Amino acid sequence: MELLMAVAVGILFTIGVYLILSKSLLRIVLGTSLLTHGVHLLLLTMAGLKKGSAPVLGKADTYVDPLPQALILTSIVISFGVTAFYFVLAYRSYQALGTDEIDSIKEDKE
Amino acid sequence: MLHVVNLLPFVLAALMLMIRKKLRFHMGWIVLPLPAALFLYFLTKIPAIQSGDKLVDSVSWMPSLGIDITLVLDGLSLIFVLLITGIGALVVLYSIYYLQKQSEGIRQFYIYLLMFMGAMLGVVLSDNLMVLYGFWELTSISSFLLIAFWHRRERSRYGAMKSMLITVFGGLAMFAGFNLLYVMTGTYSIREIVAQAGTLTDNAMFIPAMLLILLGAFTKSAQFPFHIWLPDAMEAPTPVSAYLHSATMVKAGIYLVARLTPLFAGQSEWFWLVSLTGLFTLIYGSFQAIRQTDLKALLAYSTISQLGLIMSLLGLGSAAAFFAGTEEAIFYSMATTAALFHLINHAVFKGSLFMVVGIIDHETGTRDLRKLGGLMSLMPVTFSVAVIGAFSMAGMPPFSGFLSKEMFFTSVLNIRGFDILSSGFWMQVFPVIAWLASVLTFVYSMILVFKTFGGKLKQDKLDKTPHEAPLGLLLSPVILISLAVVFAIFPDLVSVPLIEPAVASIHTGLLAPGATFGVSIHFWHGWTPEIFMTLGVITVGVLLYKGYGRLRVLDREASGRNVLNRMYDGSVHLLEKGSRRLTDAYMTGSNRHYLLYIFSFMIIALLAVLMREPGISFGMEHYAPLSLYETVVVAIMLLAAFAVPFAKSRVNAILFTGAAGYMVTLLFVLFRAPDLALTQMIIETVSVILFLLCFRYLPKLKKPKEPLRFKLPNLVIALGVGITMTFIALAAMGSSPFEPISEFFLKESYHLAGGKNVVNVILVDFRGFDTLFEIMVLGIASLAIYGLIHLRMEADLPQPQ
């Protein structure tokens, strides 16, 4: 299972990076979003999968590692904040500059 | 006491700032008493130094680094401090009449000059290498300020910049050399380093230290090929040229070589480097001097050449160290005596010659040899000073230059017998080059006098009607040049009290205790080979002077073609242009390029570490079994993600991303993370709604018309990142050297925190700070979004529709 997850994370990274390298602002924002999914799944996978029940104390003998879950939860919220901000930034820059092509938002050299 | 002496110029420079800008009398009169008093003070120290004493004065500065301000006055330092203060006083006197009282920046002029004087005293008095280095750079800086004194002139700024770049380059090399010495010996004190002299020669850092220090000395003392800054430094006011660029600062390198001779002498590298560099500089400088048409440029090249002479004599003198304890040591140490004697002579006649040129410039308005002539009868006093100075420079009797020239010839003839390095042929070269250089020196000295003062007056080419300079302007050169005559007739006036102790401090350990070098310079030695060499110099020199107009090599108009200067200019230009091109090439302003650099670096660095690290294992034994349900979810997630780059419309792209996010939610459910699943689902929903709300205002997603050469690198980099991350994930899962700490959270969650949902307990209890700042992140993000939408500079941006 971990092997599959590792490959899946690799693919998510590939698509995320490919989108980030493109010209359109919207695609870049979506790319970061996919990249974030990759990172979260990587964090979860690295702690080991299916080693017990959910980390809510009850009658089970073993539980899965709760620490990565806490970390991921924090990360989800932060990346949501950042993505929302990016998105509004893209919206505003399109409104102000009339383009969403990243290369045409360059500052003039002179 | 030495500290006070060294500090006084700086104190006075600071006080100058408080003086009113407009004074009823010339500001130089305030400065003049200081160098004069210091000169007298140092004169009173002669008897003590002569009897072999040293004045040592120490103040603790940075004891933990071994840096203390230790000032030592010994024989070698004494010569230099007398030169600095004595010529300093005369230069100040000269500048009072040379610079207009009302001229702007006169206060700065004296502040810089005093700074320089203090720094130069510090260089020659310091015993601590770091303190010496500090003062050394301070001389570079004050020299820079003085060269660019007329800072509105382009040439002044160019000359100042050039001298700064070259001398600071050498200074930094020297700094490195000093630190190598510290690493070898554990001390910065010159005296303590010299005491360990014999034990260092096998050290691997010994030769590099020597080379680096010599680089500093050669750049400061304008040795070939670092001499190029000196002719351009002639844009400085003439008192500065006379003081810094003939008598004092350019001798700092000479001082350093002499000071460290006890450490390095006896090394054949030192002998060859110092003496051959000096010899080549001597002949090159004298050859270039003939071709100049500007008087100050002629004197600049002459200074270069004479500095080469002194440097080569110091190199020849270091031969004495090969014969420590024998009679031959004394025999070869004659060269050092000659070096010191010529050092004094050169300061005397070159200082006065610069002042003479300043007077000519002052009275005629030009320094161009092609416009000058026939000043002999108009300016008799100036002419006399020039004749004595030039003949002394050429080494003619009855002036002091004659004596040092004879001693120079003696030294180069003696060195023929120095066969310890088994290079008999090369030793023969010394007298030949020395003689040739003397002929050239003779020629340019004659040019200096007779092209300026001889011939006819060319009044039509002059702006002013030339006449004799005022008395005040003549005072300093006359005093200086009379010394050239006095030293010639009574050479023991300087040799016994000054040169003997100086030679003793350069050649430590050569003498039996109590013995002296018995330095005695005689005006007449009888019919020695040196006399015949001098006669030859005069004969050939006169012939060459008569005929040099017909020799193409010496063509003055061709003297503009200076390869070394062009090389310097070219390399500065190239450096500037090259850096600009390099920066322009990679700082393209395109975000994508920077991301490409970042990602490629990341791939290369991570993969390289993974390849090289042998301990990484890809163990599969702990893996959970593959199950169909999860496999299907992963497959759907990947399909959705795959679809995003190919989506034709904005809505589709957003929805595909959302689909991938929901699949991640499902994975969280399957991997037993209920809180994550909950959060992810809510946030994914909110994100998609946000995207859908906004997308109406975004442009239509154009089918990307990106050419293949745009897409291909992106794909390669993206694949690289993906593969790297997969490898890292596998490597990290394969090896886990530590037990996770989660057991603690699972065990203590209920006991300590009273909660059964361990993830939530961690978030708000065990690691509550994470949550606090995560809340702040959200707060900041919402504030920023609010600001983006509502706040704008009315003038800058178009209004929203």
Contacts of B774 in chain A (CB under 8 A): 74, 77-78
Could you read off the pLDDT of B494-544 as tens digits, one per residue? 787 888 888 888 887 666 555 556 666 665 666 777 788 888 888 888 888
Question: Does A60 contact chain B (CB < 8 Å)?
Answer: no
Residue B333 scores a pLDDT above 90:
no
**pLDDT for the residue numbered B801:** 45
Counting Cβ atoms within 10 Å, is residue B779 exposed (0-12), middle (13-18) or buried (19+)? exposed
Query: Hey, what are B90's tokens?
Result: 């005369």
Per the CB < 8 Å rule, is A24 touching B624? no
Let me know how long chain A is. Answer: 110
- Secondary structure of B649-709 as H, E, C letters: CHHHHHHHHHHHHHHHHHHHHHCCCHHHHHHHHHHHHHHHHHHHHHHCCCCCCCCCCCCHH
Query: Who among B641, B650, B782 is closest to A26 (CB)?
Result: B650
Class of residue B248 by CB neighbours under 10 A (exposed 0-12, middle 13-18, buried 19+): buried
Partner B contacted by A34 (CB < 8 A) = yes
Sign of CA dihedral A11, A13, A16, A22: negative
Buried residues in B158-197 as b, exposed as e (16+ CB within 10 A)? ebbbbbbebbbebbbbbbbbbbbbbebbebbbbbebbbeb
How near does any CA of chain A get to the CA of B248, in Å?
Answer: 48
The tokens describing A18, both together, are: 């490919």
Q: How far apart are CA B390 and CA B793, in angstroms?
A: 74
Task: Give chain B positions within 8 Å (CB) of A40.
Answer: 664, 676
What DSSP string describes B723-776?
HHHHHHHHHHHH---S--THHHHHHHIIIII--SBHHHHIIIIITHHHHHHHHH
Report the chain A residue with the minimal C-alpha distance to residue B655.
A30
Q: What is the pLDDT of residue B519?
A: 60
Give CA–CA dist B133/B256, Å, rounded: 11
Q: Are B294 and B367 in contact (CB under 8 A)?
A: yes
Flag whether residue A32 sits within 8 Å of chain B, measured between CB atoms.
Answer: no
Q: What per-residue confidence (pLDDT) applies to B499?
A: 82
Residue B308, amino acid: G
Chain B contact probe: residue of A28, A39, A46, A49 with most B CBs at under 10 A? A49
Q: Do B756 and A11 touch (CB under 8 A)?
A: no
Handedness of CA B178, B180, B181, B182 (dihedral sign): positive
Residue from A59, A76, A79, A83 to probe the interface with B (highest B Cβ count within 10 Å)? A76
The pLDDT-based confidence of B182 (bands split at 50, 70, 90) is: very high
pLDDT at B578: 94
Question: Touching check for A39 and chain B: CB below 8 Å?
Answer: no
Record: contact A46-B771, CB cut-off 8 A: no
In this prediction, residue B396 has a pLDDT band, given cuts at 50, 70 and 90, of confident
Give the bridge partners for B368, in sequence order: B294
Question: What ipTM describes this predicted complex?
Answer: 0.93
A15-48 burial string, b = 16+ CB within 10 Å, else e? bbbbbbbbbbbbbbbbbbbbbbbbbbbbbbbbbb
pLDDT at residue B139, as a whole number: 93
Per the prediction, chain B carries an average pLDDT of 85
Contacts of B800 in chain A (CB under 8 A): 95
Task: Report the pLDDT value the prediction gives residue A73, as an integer from 0 to 100.
Answer: 93
Is A44's pLDDT higher than 70? yes
Q: For A19-33, B27-41, B518-532, B623-637, which range has the lowest pLDDT when averaged over its residues?
A: B518-532
A35 touches chain B (CB under 8 A): no
Cα-Cα-Cα-Cα torsion B553, B558, B562, B563, nearest 10 degrees, comes to -70
**Which residues of chain B are within 8 Å of residue A102 when distances are taken between CB atoms?**
590-592
Looking at the partner chain, which of A34, A44, A46 has a beta carbon nearest the beta carbon of B673?
Answer: A44
In this prediction, residue A110 carries a pLDDT of 37
Q: At what angle do helices A66-97 and B674-695 cross, to 10 degrees?
A: 0
List, in order, residues 6 or more apart from B483 with CB less than 8 Å away. B348, B400
Q: Are B447 and B546 spatial neighbours (Cβ–Cβ below 8 Å)?
A: no
To the nearest whole angstrom, how far is the Cα of B294 from the nearest Cα of chain A?
44
Please list every residue in chain B whose beta carbon sits closer than 8 Å to the beta carbon of residue A54.
672-674
What residues are paired with B55 via a beta bridge?
B73
B544-556 average pLDDT score: 67
Contact B725 A77 (CB under 8 A): no
Confidence of residue A92 (pLDDT cuts 50, 70, 90): confident
Q: What is the pLDDT of residue A78?
A: 93
* Burial state string for B342-360 with b = 16 or more CB within 10 A and e = fewer than 16: bbbbbbbbbbbbbbbbbbb
| Lookup: tokens for B795 | 């003038």
Q: Which residue, among B418, B491, B92, has the nearest Cα to B265 in the 3D structure? A: B418
Cβ–Cβ < 8 Å for B407, B341 = yes
Q: How many degrees, rounded to 5, is the angle at CA B285 between CA B170 and CA B163?
A: 30
| E strand or H helix at B70 | strand B67-73
In this complex, do B657 and A33 lie within 8 Å of one another by their Cβ atoms?
Answer: yes
Q: What are phi and psi of B508, to 5 degrees?
A: -75, 145
In percent, how much of chain B has pLDDT > 90? 31
Contact B656, B644 (CB under 8 A): yes
pLDDT number for residue A109:
41
- Name the CA radius of gyration of chain B, rounded: 38
Cβ pair B193, B262 in contact under 8 A: no
The Cβ of residue B696 has, within 10 Å, a number of other Cβ atoms equal to 9
Q: What is the pLDDT of residue B771?
A: 93
For residue A80, what is the nearest residue in chain B, using CA coordinates? Answer: B683
For chains A and B, what is the number of CB pairs under 8 angstroms?
Answer: 267
- B742 and A67: CB-CB below 8 Å? yes
- If pLDDT is split at 50, 70 and 90, which confidence band does B377 have? confident
User: For residue B554, what pLDDT is reported?
Assistant: 55
**For the segment B682-711, what is each residue's pLDDT rounded down to a tens digit?**
999 998 888 887 777 666 655 555 666 677
In the predicted model, is pLDDT for residue A21 greater than 80? yes
- Whether a cis peptide bond, with omega within 30° of 0, leads into B398 is yes
* Percentage, residues of chain B above pLDDT 70: 89
Q: In this structure, what token pair is assigned to residue B568? A: 């310097």
Q: What is the pLDDT of residues B397-438, one digit of tens each?
A: 788 888 888 888 888 888 777 766 666 677 788 888 888 999
Question: Quick check: A67 and B718 CB within 8 A?
Answer: no
pTM, two decimal places: 0.82
User: Cβ atoms within 10 A of the Cβ of B383, count?
Assistant: 19
The reported pLDDT for the residue numbered B612 is: 85
Tens-place pLDDT, residues B92-145: 999 988 887 766 678 888 999 999 999 999 999 999 999 999 999 999 999 999
More confident residue, B558 or B766: B766
- pLDDT, residue B764, reads 92
What's the confidence (pLDDT) of residue B51? 82
* Segment among B150-159, B498-507, B522-531, B562-571 with least mean pLDDT: B522-531
Does residue B794 carry a pLDDT above 70? no
Question: Which of B799 and A46 is assigned the larger pLDDT?
Answer: A46
Residue B692 C-alpha from the chain's centroid: 62
Which chain A residue has its CA at the smallest distance from B797's CA? A96
User: Could you please report the per-residue DSSP string of B550-580?
Assistant: G-GGG-SGGGG--HHHHHHHHHHHHHHHHHH
pLDDT tens digit sequence for B771-789: 999 999 999 999 999 988 8
> What pLDDT, on the 0 to 100 scale, is given for residue B653?
86
B758/A56 CB distance under 8 A: yes
Q: Cβ of A51 under 8 Å from any chain B Cβ?
A: yes
Checking if the pLDDT of B235 tops 80, the result is yes
Q: Which residues of A touch B699 (CB under 8 A)?
A: 94, 99-100
pLDDT at site B573: 93
Region for B560 from its dihedrals, namely left if φ exceeds 0, alpha if ψ lies in -120 to 50, beta otherwise: alpha
- Report the distance separating Cα B246 and Cα B390, nearest Å: 14
Residue B635 has pLDDT above 70, yes or no: yes
A96 interfacial to chain B (CB closer than 8 Å): yes
Structure tokens at B61: 């500065």
pLDDT of B274-300, one tens digit each?
988 999 999 999 988 888 888 888 899
Q: Which two tokens stand for residue B732?
A: 């990290």
State the Cα–Cα distance between residues B680 and B664, nearest whole angstrom: 8
Split at pLDDT 50, 70, 90, the class of B212 is very high
Could you give the CA distance from residue B145 to residue B160 in angstroms, rounded to a whole number?
Answer: 7
Average pLDDT of span B448-470: 78
CB B758 to CB A76 under 8 A?
Answer: no
pLDDT at A108: 47
